Amino acid sequence: MRYVVSRMGAADVPRIAEIEKRAYPTSQWPVSAYHRELQNKWAYYIVVRDLAITAPVESEQTMARRAFPFSIFNSSRTATMDIALASIVGYAGLWLTIDEAHVTTIATDPSARGRGLGELLLVSLIDIAYDIGARWLTLEVRVSNAPAQALYHKYGFSVVSTRPRYYTDNNEDAYIMWTPEITTRSYRAMFAARKETLMQRLSTEE
């Protein structure tokens, strides 16, 4: 398959920071937060790679440097992002608290949207939730983010309450969403069917 999900590593963080800046221009985690999360034994972070990306690309940070009059000081080592980093087109994570998995973030590079990668990341998080013994998943989502809410509803999440002024960049409210218990036969069947449909879709990507 063209897209591969793997565990996030420390070397991936610079690329994650660039994607986050593009996906959430008004609200980003500091880079140090990701490094701390990768040391948290109760946190699980993943990336999705596009194996069709086979050449290095110039990073946003480097492009900004090139605009500076003294771009002569840019070395070839920092001029491009290597293929391993450039191939990352999305990321996601969750925390485990007893038997609850709290989805902390899901993001895809804007250039890769519309391909089902956000859904692939969510499916991968649900698979992780099964592996680590979670029985429910929960998350917060902006009240204005209808596309994300539609994806979460597709996988059984429902709104249970609202956190007023949750997002600090614009004081927007957040919906708190929960799944039903994911270990039930009915949820497992629903999840398996939707996952299979997604995998069939992604397997046709070239």
Q: Which residue in 105, 103, 7, 18 sits closest to 47, CA to CA?
A: 7
**The pTM is what?**
0.88
Q: Considering the candidates 18, 100, 140, 172, report the single residue annotated as catalytic.
A: 140
Phi, psi of 184 (to 5 degrees): -70, 155
Q: How far apart are CA 42 and CA 55, in angstroms?
A: 35
Report helix, strand or coil for 188: helix
Burial classification of residue 177, based on how many CB atoms lie within 10 Å of its CB (0-12 exposed, 13-18 middle, 19 or more buried): buried
Question: What pLDDT, on the 0 to 100 scale, is given for residue 60?
Answer: 56
Q: Considering the candidates 91, 152, 155, 175, report the single residue annotated as catalytic.
A: 152
Question: What pLDDT, on the 0 to 100 scale, is given for residue 61?
Answer: 54
Please say if 140 is a catalytic residue.
Answer: yes
- One DSSP character per residue, 20-85 reads HHHH-TT----HHHHHHHHH-TTEEEEEEEETT--S-B--HHHHHHHTSTTGGG--HHHHSB-HHH
Output the six-digit token pair for 41: 């034994």
Report helix, strand or coil for 141: strand
Residue type, 101: A
Query: Which domains does the chain carry?
Result: 3-51+87-203 (3.40.630.30)
DSSP H helices, 137-184, are 146-154
Name the one residue in this structure whose structure tokens are 């497992």.
Answer: 188
Question: What pLDDT, on the 0 to 100 scale, is given for residue 201?
Answer: 96
Eight-class DSSP state of 115 = S
8 A C-beta contact, residue 119 and residue 108: no
Burial classification of residue 159, based on how many CB atoms lie within 10 Å of its CB (0-12 exposed, 13-18 middle, 19 or more buried): middle
Q: What is the pLDDT along the chain (206 residues), one digit of tens a residue?
A: 899 999 999 999 999 999 999 998 887 788 999 999 999 999 999 999 999 998 776 655 554 444 444 444 444 444 467 888 999 999 999 999 999 999 999 999 999 999 999 999 999 999 999 999 999 999 999 999 999 999 999 999 999 999 999 998 899 999 999 999 999 999 999 999 999 999 999 998 76
Please say if 152 is a catalytic residue.
Answer: yes
